[in-house]
Structure 1
Amino acid sequence: MRIPSRIIGGAVIATLLTQLTACGTLFYPDRRGQIDGKVDPVIVALDAIGILFYVIPGLLALGVDFATGAIYYPDGTTAQVSPEKLRPAVEADGKVNRVKLQAILESELGQRLPLNDPRLIEHRGSVEQLAAYGLHPVI
């Protein structure tokens, strides 16, 4: 009778240890280190299931996910291209050639961006920004 109790005890210990490591930390280790953001409802639901079955380990799992930041969705990715590489896309009159800009961004970022999409929102720069890049505003 001693062997079945050891098996059951080992299973309980393994279950408790998996709950202590937290779902977000296990499933998305790349998310660790985030400070804030949108909370991932799947991770919250998995931690809530842990709370349902084992109150203390479930609460610890939820706390670990919040403390490590693994409970948050990842931030949006950003990319930067130096102004010197973007300069060929700007024509002499200060207007941007979208075809050249799309080719430059595709070669630098490795992604094809839909610059001719009608939903694209264009922001105009200030005179100071243009002067910083050696450009003159179109009047």
Structure 2
Amino acid sequence: MRIPSRVIGGVLVATLLTQLTACGTLFYPDRRGQIEGKIDPVVAALDAIGILFYVIPGLIAFGIDFATGAIYYPGGTTAQVDPAKLKPAIDADGKVDNAKLQAILESELGQRLPLNDPRLIQHRGSVEQLAAYGLVPAA
């Protein structure tokens, strides 16, 4: 009875270790939060290996990597827009109109950004940051 329990334990440990290494979220935590981009073939291959050996955990790894955005290559580019050009996107209450903001960013940067994507993480600025740009904070 001792050998079958060691085999089962070994298989369980191997399963858990391969799933921990097959998730791009663990390999590339800095990529989390991306919405789209080119798929990293290394992460996709590791997730596919998870599907090959263990169907359910492999599908979960793919799902997590797509949901967090860790499966995509990092963008690596940054852009800046003059805050004065962004003022038309802010209404009198201090709220941002995503459609106007998207149009301004598209004309300034030449790229279409998916601001209406439900996975987009929005951060609120502090009162000091808003005052530096001459904006009135909304209640």
TM-score (norm 1): 0.48
Higher gyration radius (CA): 1
